[in-house]
């Protein structure tokens, strides 16, 4: 059982950061995952009073606070238009609305969970993260780092609209995905991420020039086949490595074509 | 620590542990409609409204809910009364254990979207598990309620 010795609602990011430097401290996200852990927590740091639950369009892009819930993310009209609905496609199949009303974006991104459709779609969308401590960095850089003791405060998305889509395969509705693929196309540049391999999402760009002539059913298939060979897959309770590789060939093609606005 | 919140319209102040979950807190206040079905934040049985939004009370610390408004089915009887008979008329449920969470989330659905399509109903209620039924009866019940409401409104015009 999770045992919490002290609960603190941080009144500033500096306070949260200072408290977080102790190894026994934990920053609370939605607790959806944390509460199932069997561990003692010295200080549970709650960021809920810090105004991090806002989605704002500013000069340098869209700022998504770490405490914005998955439900806010999927229902936000501005982000829906910006990403062609890809964020809603990514989080919509996660458990249920009551879960998504609790789970914050920051918890999912901080966790860098293998099953995270959110990490997958944000990689494809070209997101950055802002950490109180290490500062601003591309999400792919953050995703590759070990867990530190900074505070994740925001996710940033470029202002420029992106043609994007997210596709997943689930054994039953609302379960963890067997595989997730997301694609984002901005200025003809393609970013494609594949998650739940079951390792955490990996980002691919078109280094082979397979999509240089545009995203068509044929070029999307060629890219998906290349992705399936290039990426590593593993087996777990939800599916085998071979099954995931096969799914990759389908879901990457579908994500690319859906992002481009073509029938998959 | 001290927990101060509005439970079903009534301000209360109680002592609780820092790791007390909201589900255990409200049950200790007599709100026994709030059930623990899974412990993995998946079944929807423990649904309560936190500042009017449906959430899983097994996934919230009572400490985080402090200062906020919490409503359980005990406080929303009048709103539930409207449609629960329609679900019962379909014989939708057998054991009834999942019913309070289902009713709570249906209230949330109808507040947000008073005239949902079948697909919208399914998408909204997908996080409420029922192990007796195949959900068809519940869907028919909500559909029958919406149809009856529309017929009433038409008559009134």
> Hey, are the CB atoms on A4 and B124 less than 8 Å from each other?
no
Q: Nearest by CB to A173, which of B54, B59, B126?
A: B126
For the segment B3-21, the average pLDDT, to the nearest whole number, is: 97
A27 located within any domain: yes
What CATH number has the domain bearing residue A113? 3.30.465.10
Q: What's the confidence (pLDDT) of residue B73?
A: 98
For the segment A199-221, the average pLDDT, to the nearest whole number, is: 97
Number of separate domains in chain A: 3
Same domain, B81 and B145: yes
Interface-testing mutation among B15, B16, B18, B109, with chain A (most A C-beta atoms within 10 A)? B18
Closest-CA distance of chain B to residue A108, Å: 15
Q: Tens digit of pLDDT for each residue in A5-25? A: 999 999 999 999 999 999 999
Q: Tens digit of pLDDT for each residue in A121-179? A: 999 999 999 999 999 999 999 999 999 999 999 999 999 999 999 999 999 989 999 99
Strands A189-195 and A202-205, how do they pair? antiparallel
Q: Tens digit of pLDDT for each residue in A228-249? A: 999 999 999 999 999 999 999 9
Maximum Cα interatomic distance, chain B, rounded to a whole number of Å: 55
Number of separate domains in chain B: 2
Same domain, B91 and B24: no
User: If pLDDT is split at 50, 70 and 90, which confidence band does B135 have?
Assistant: very high
Same domain, B52 and B107: no
For the segment B106-118, the average pLDDT, to the nearest whole number, is: 97
In contact, B105 and B87? CB cutoff 8 Å: no
User: If pLDDT is split at 50, 70 and 90, which confidence band does A263 have?
Assistant: low
Q: Helix B77-89 crosses helix B136-156 at what angle (to 10 degrees)? A: 110
Q: DSSP E strands: which ranges in A171-255?
A: 177-186, 189-195, 202-205
Q: Nearest by CB to A32, which of B41, B54, B105?
A: B41
Closest-CA distance of chain B to residue A41, Å: 10
- Give the A:B interface size as CB pairs under 8 Å: 79
Same domain, B14 and B48: yes
Same domain, A177 and A149: no
Q: What's the confidence (pLDDT) of residue B11?
A: 98
> Hey, are the CB atoms on B127 and A2 less than 8 Å from each other?
no
Whether the pLDDT of residue A205 is over 80: the answer is yes
User: In B56-72, which positions are buried (b, 16+ CB within 10 angstroms) versus exposed (e)?
Assistant: bbbbbbbbbbbebbbbb
Task: Give the A-side interface with B, CB within 8 Å.
Answer: 2-7, 9, 28, 30-32, 35-36, 41, 44, 46, 48, 71, 92, 95-99, 101-102, 173-174
Residues composing chain A = 264
Domain span at B115? 76-156
Q: What's the confidence (pLDDT) of residue B133?
A: 87
Same domain, A206 and A225: yes
Q: Nearest by CB to A32, which of B53, B59, B61?
A: B59
Q: What's the confidence (pLDDT) of residue A262?
A: 75
Whether the pLDDT of residue A264 is over 60: the answer is no
Same domain, B100 and B147: yes
Same domain, B30 and B84: no
Same domain, B40 and B67: yes
Same domain, B42 and B96: no
Same domain, B80 and B62: no
In contact, A103 and A30? CB cutoff 8 Å: yes
User: If pLDDT is split at 50, 70 and 90, which confidence band does B134 have?
Assistant: confident
Q: What's the confidence (pLDDT) of residue A241?
A: 98
Interface-testing mutation among A35, A44, A88, A98, with chain B (most B C-beta atoms within 10 A)? A98
User: If pLDDT is split at 50, 70 and 90, which confidence band does B157 have?
Assistant: confident
Q: What's the confidence (pLDDT) of residue A35?
A: 83
Same domain, A84 and A103: yes
Same domain, A122 and A39: no
Same domain, B44 and B101: no
Q: What's the confidence (pLDDT) of residue A216?
A: 96
Instruction: Give the residue among B133, B17, B50, B67 at the shortest CA–CA distance from A6.
Output: B17
A199 located within any domain: yes
Q: Which residue of A has its CA nearest to B102?
A: A98
> Hey, are the CB atoms on A35 and B58 less than 8 Å from each other?
yes
Q: How many other C-beta atoms can be found within 10 angstroms of the C-beta atom of residue B10?
A: 9
Instruction: Give the residue among A72, A135, A146 at the shortest CA–CA distance from A110.
Output: A146
What CATH number has the domain bearing residue B116? 1.10.150.120
Same domain, B104 and B145: yes
Domain span at A79? 55-157
Q: What's the confidence (pLDDT) of residue B92?
A: 87
User: In A60-74, which positions are buried (b, 16+ CB within 10 angstroms) versus exposed (e)?
Assistant: ebbbbbbbbbbbbbb
């Amino acid at each position: 059982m999770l045992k919490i010795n002290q609960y603190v609602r941080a009144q500033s990011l500096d306070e949260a950061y200072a408290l977080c430097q102790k190894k026994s401290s934990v920053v609370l996200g939605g607790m959806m995952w944390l509460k199932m852990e069997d561990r003692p927590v010295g200080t549970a740091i709650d960021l809920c009073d810090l105004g991090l639950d806002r989605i704002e369009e500013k000069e340098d892009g869209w700022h998504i606070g770490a405490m914005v819930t998955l439900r806010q993310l999927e229902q936000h009209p501005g982000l829906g238009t910006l990403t062609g609905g890809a964020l809603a496609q990514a989080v919509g199949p996660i458990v249920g609305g009551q879960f998504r009303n609790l789970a914050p974006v920051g918890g999912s991104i901080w966790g860098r969970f293998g099953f995270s459709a959110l990490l997958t779609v944000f990689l494809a969308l070209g997101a950055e993260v802002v950490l109180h401590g290490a500062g601003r960095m591309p999400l792919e850089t953050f995703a590759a780092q070990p867990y530190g003791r900074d505070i994740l405060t925001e996710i940033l998305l470029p202002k420029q609209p992106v043609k994007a889509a997210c596709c997943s395969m689930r054994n039953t509705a609302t379960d963890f995905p067997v595989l997730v693929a997301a694609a984002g196309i901005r200025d003809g540049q393609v970013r494609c991420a594949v998650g739940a391999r079951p390792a955490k999402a990996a980002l691919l760009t078109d280094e082979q020039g397979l999509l240089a002539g545009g995203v068509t059913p044929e070029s999307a298939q060629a890219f998906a086949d290349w992705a399936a060979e290039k990426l590593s897959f593993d087996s777990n309770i939800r599916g085998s490595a071979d099954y995931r590789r096969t799914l990759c060939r389908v879901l990457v093609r579908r994500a690319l074509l859906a992002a481009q606005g073509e029938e998959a | 620590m001290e927990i101060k919140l509005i439970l079903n319209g009534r301000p209360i102040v109680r002592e609780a542990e820092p790791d007390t979950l909201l589900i255990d807190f409200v049950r200790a206040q007599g709100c026994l409609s709030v059930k623990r079905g899974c412990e993995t934040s998946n079944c929807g049985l423990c649904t309560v409204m936190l500042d009017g939004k449906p959430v899983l009370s097994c996934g919230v610390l009572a400490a985080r809910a402090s200062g906020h408004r919490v409503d359980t089915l005990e406080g929303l009887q009048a709103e539930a009364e409207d449609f629960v008979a329609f679900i019962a008329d379909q014989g939708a449920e057998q054991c009834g254990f999942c019913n309070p969470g289902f009713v709570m989330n249906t209230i949330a659905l109808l507040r947000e979207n008073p005239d949902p399509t079948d697909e919208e109903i399914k998408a909204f209620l997908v996080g409420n598990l029922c192990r007796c039924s195949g959900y068809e009866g519940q869907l028919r019940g909500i559909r029958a309620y919406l149809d009856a409401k529309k017929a009433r409104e038409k008559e009134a015009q």
